[in-house]
Structure formats: structure tokens, C-alpha cells
Amino acid sequence: MNACEKYIQELQQHLSSLPQADRQDALEFYKEYIEDAGYQDWDEIIQKLGTPKELSQEIIAKTTTTPNQEPLDQQDNKRVRFVLFTILAIILVLVLVPTILGILSGIIAAIATLVGSGLTVFALAGSTLTSDVWAGVFYLGIGIALVGVLLIAIFIIAWLGKWLVRGINKLITLFRNQVKGEK
């Protein structure tokens, strides 16, 4: 047996963990390579390609058929995490969406009530101001107070909205990272 055949045979033994097709592919490549290069003796082959063991390690490390080279159990782990995250996200959406809708409709109703009563009070103030000055001033005061309450409410709503948007953004980013990690 010449050096090339011996080298290929040893390489084959070190590649036994690879699927048959992958192993065959690598062996054919290197057999052809050594013949084309015209390497004659063992030392020359080892000097150029490394020992069969070293070469096999490089082939296995870089030739796995799966696109990413993480160990399989880690991939499974990721898959499980991905599924869990998806379920969590669905539950969150199911709970969050009605809650947010409820809060929003409450806010709109409150603002409508405030604006409505404000307008009524101002109208009352306008009509009474001519007949009874003090009653008119009283209503005017209530109206101004209502405007104040409205402004405070808008401020609080804006503040809440900002945090809500930030929270949702964060959740989306977190989820997207999970999905990316899966790929």
C-alpha cells in the first residue's frame, strides 16, 4: 500500500462520525488532491495536509451539513425556548390587547365626559352671568377647574402612553432576538 492509500484509509477511520455521503465526498477530494499534487511519501503528505487526525478534525468542524455548527442539544434547547416564547407572546397579546383597548375606551369616555361637562358648565355660566353674576362666576370657576383637570389627565395619559409604547417595543425586540437566535 502506498502512502496516499494509507493516509486516505486512516482519514476514513477518523471521519467515521460523519454521514456516509459527507465522508465519501471528503475522501474523494483528498485522494484526488494528493494524486494531483504528486505527494509520494508519508512525511510529505503530513507536512502539507497535517496528520489524518488533524485533517479529519478540520473537516468535521467545518463540514457539518447543518448550517450552524452548534452542538445538536443546544439547538434543541433553542427550539424549546423559541416555542415557549411564542406561546408566551400569544398569551401576552391575548391579555394585553383587550386590556389596552379597555383602558383606551375608558380614557376616551373620561375625556368626552370632561369635555362635555366643561362645555355645559361654560354654557350655564354664559347664560347665568347676565341674570345672576355670582352664580355665573361660580359656574365659570367650575368650568376652569374642569379645563385644569382635563390638562392634567392629558399629561398623565401621554406619560402612560409613552411607557406603554416603550414596553411593547422592548417585548418586540426581545421576541425578535429569540427568533433570530433560532435561525
Binding residues for other proteins, rule: CB under 8 A, are: 25-26, 28-30, 32-33, 35-37, 48-50, 54-55, 58-59, 62-63, 65
* CA distance readout (Å), 171 to 85, 91, 164, 178: 11, 13, 11, 11
In this complex, which beta carbon is closest to other proteins, that of residue 59 or of residue 146? 59
Q: How many CA atoms lie within 13 A of 108 on its CB side?
A: 6
Measured from the CB atom, is 57 or 178 closer to other proteins?
Answer: 57
Cell 398623565 locates to 156
Residue 7 Cβ, how far from other proteins at the closest point, in Å? 13
* Amino acid letter for position 147: V
Of 58 and 76, which CB lies nearer to other proteins in the complex structure?
58
Smallest distance, Å, CB 176 to other proteins? 24
Shortest spacing between CB 35 and other proteins, in angstroms: 7
Of 63, 69, 59, 65, the residue nearest 11 (C-alpha): 59
The C-alpha cell at 183 is: 435561525
